[in-house]
């Protein structure tokens, strides 16, 4: 038997989330690698699943947890053998396939990547999908030609998981980073991660802004969406690039084509769930070498499986700074 968070759908459509015990026979049969999970995380999507605030879960019952890191127990997949260490991000795990907020999981070996050398399972989950997504965004900006000499880069939702790690990555690469946040009391925290300037999210989050505003940003990493993304686009300099990866404010994009057709601004969508294996490997290798472990420690709070049940609501209410790492064995 092993500990796991299990989600069930109540008769009234609400979600019941509880810490329980499962056995191997209750795990999905369609995986070819059995793993021992050491650490998982609470991402925004996990929080939605646990609280039932959004229809994230597509099969019931469900073990949430879109991220996991640990070691292989047994495998019939040619690339994996007992004792190998792995990282898992996305692929519908925690939505349509039992996830990693549990001590054990049975997974598809094609979904796994090896932990980079010298990276611990705990640090891998301190990074998690949030940090991996932040790296995909940073890589996309540079693939579009952005350099540290191009100008200021804006990071929205900067005290969140994606934002905190994006600030850390970009500053380590030599960029001048402006962090947008609704938590101005966290200015010292953001500056410790490398932000050069802090602005109030209210400067970007209000509706009704002009389609073209004063040019400021050479690049943007946005995890907020809606009016924030629209205003960030309106302030992006001629030829600038914006990487969009989230919807904390909303899924809508109530804006104008003006930034695209009058300033040549490029909006790049970042998907971490189905990203190709080669891109995942590159992102994780860069995270292993370019992300300051000391900064990562400042971003991270460790919790237990039981605590994950209550912390999910805090994530949705934006009460969590940085990353929550779940020690599934605590």
For residue 284, being part of any structural domain is answered with no
Confidence at residue 54, expressed as pLDDT on a 0 to 100 scale: 87
- Report pLDDT for 241: 98
Residues 67 and 176 in one domain: no
- For 285, the enclosing helix (H) or strand (E) is helix 277-290
**Residue 120 domain flag:** no
What is the per-residue pLDDT across 17-61, written as a single tens digit (0 to 9) for each?
999 999 999 999 999 999 999 999 999 899 999 999 988 999 999
Do 99 and 142 share a domain, yes or no? no
Same domain, 139 and 265: yes
C-beta of residue 164 within 8 angstroms of C-beta of residue 183: no
194 and 310 co-located in one domain: no
The CATH number of the domain where 65 resides is what?
A: 3.90.180.10
Q: What is the average pLDDT score of the chain?
A: 96
pTM of the model: 0.92
Number of domains in the chain: 2
With respect to residue 282, please indicate whether it lies within any of the assigned structural domains.
no
Out of 226, 250, 269, a domain closes at: 269
On whether residue 289 sits in a domain, the answer given is no
If asked whether residues 134 and 246 sit together in one domain, one would say yes
pLDDT value of position 318: 84
Alpha carbons 203 and 323: distance in angstroms, whole number: 25
User: Is the domain of 173 the same as that of 248?
Assistant: yes
Q: Which residues contact 15 (CB under 8 A, 6 or more apart)?
A: 7, 8, 9, 49, 50, 51, 52, 57
Tokens 């991000």 belong to residue:
89
Q: How far apart are CA 285 and CA 39, in angstroms?
A: 19
Pair (134, 256) in one structural domain: yes
In a domain, 292, yes or no: no
User: 164 and 38, same structural domain?
Assistant: no
Same domain (yes/no): 135, 103: no
For 115-130, give the DSSP string. Answer: PPTT--HHHHHHHHHH
Nearest-angstrom CA–CA distance, 158 and 169: 12
Reported as a single tens digit per residue, the pLDDT across 266-307 is 999 999 999 999 999 999 999 999 999 999 999 999 999 999
Domain boundary among 254, 269, 284: 269
Clarify whether residues 134 and 264 are in a common domain: yes
In a domain, residue 57? The reply is yes
**46 within a domain of the structure (yes/no):** yes
217 domain-assigned: yes
pLDDT by 10s per residue, the chain, length 330: 999 999 999 999 999 999 999 999 999 999 999 999 999 999 989 999 999 998 899 999 999 999 999 999 999 999 999 999 999 999 999 999 999 999 999 999 999 999 999 899 999 999 999 999 999 999 999 999 999 999 999 999 999 999 999 999 999 999 999 999 999 999 999 999 999 999 999 999 999 899 999 999 999 999 999 999 999 999 999 999 999 999 989 999 999 999 999 999 999 999 999 999 999 999 999 999 999 999 999 999 999 999 999 999 999 888 888 899 999 999
Same domain, 225 and 302: no
- Give the domain-ending residue among 253, 269, 285: 269
Q: What is the CATH number of the domain that holds 177?
A: 3.40.50.720
Kindly state whether residues 103 and 134 are assigned to the same domain: no
Determine the structural domain holding residue 87 and report its residue range: 2-115+297-327
């Amino acid at each position: 038997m092993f500990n796991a968070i299990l989600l069930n759908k109540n008769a009234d459509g609400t979600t019941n989330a509880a810490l329980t015990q499962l056995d191997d026979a209750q795990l999905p049969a369609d995986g070819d690698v059995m793993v021992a999970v050491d650490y998982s995380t609470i991402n925004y999507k996990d929080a939605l699943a646990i609280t039932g605030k959004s229809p994230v879960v597509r099969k019931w019952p469900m073990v949430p947890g879109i991220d996991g890191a640990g070691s292989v127990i047994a495998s019939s997949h040619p690339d994996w053998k007992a004792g190998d260490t792995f990282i898992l991000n996305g692929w519908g795990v925690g939505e349509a396939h039992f996830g990693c907020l549990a001590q054990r999981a049975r997974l598809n070996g094609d979904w796994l990547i090896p932990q980079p050398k010298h990276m611990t399972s705990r640090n891998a989950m301190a990074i998690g999908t949030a940090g991996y997504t932040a790296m995909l965004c940073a890589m996309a900006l540079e693939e579009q030609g952005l350099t540290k000499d191009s100008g200021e880069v804006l990071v929205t939702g900067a005290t969140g998981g994606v934002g905190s790690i994006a600030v850390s990555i970009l500053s380590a690469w030599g960029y001048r980073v402006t962090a947008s946040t609704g938590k101005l009391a966290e200015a010292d925290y953001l500056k410790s991660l490398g932000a050069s300037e802090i602005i109030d999210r209210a400067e970007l989050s209000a509706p009704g802004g002009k389609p073209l505003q004063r040019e400021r940003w050479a690049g943007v990493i946005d995890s907020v969406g809606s009016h924030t993304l629209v205003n960030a686009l309106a302030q992006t300099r001629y030829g600038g690039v914006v990487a969009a990866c989230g919807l904390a404010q909303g899924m809508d994009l109530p804006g104008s084509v003006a930034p695209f057709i009058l300033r040549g601004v490029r909006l790049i969508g970042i998907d971490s769930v189905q990203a190709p294996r080669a891109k995942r490997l590159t992102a994780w290798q860069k995270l292993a070498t370019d992300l300051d472990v000391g900064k990562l420690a400042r971003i991270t709070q460790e919790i237990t499986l039981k605590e994950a049940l209550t912390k999910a609501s805090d994530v949705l209410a934006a009460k969590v700074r940085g990353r929550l790492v779940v020690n599934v064995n605590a």
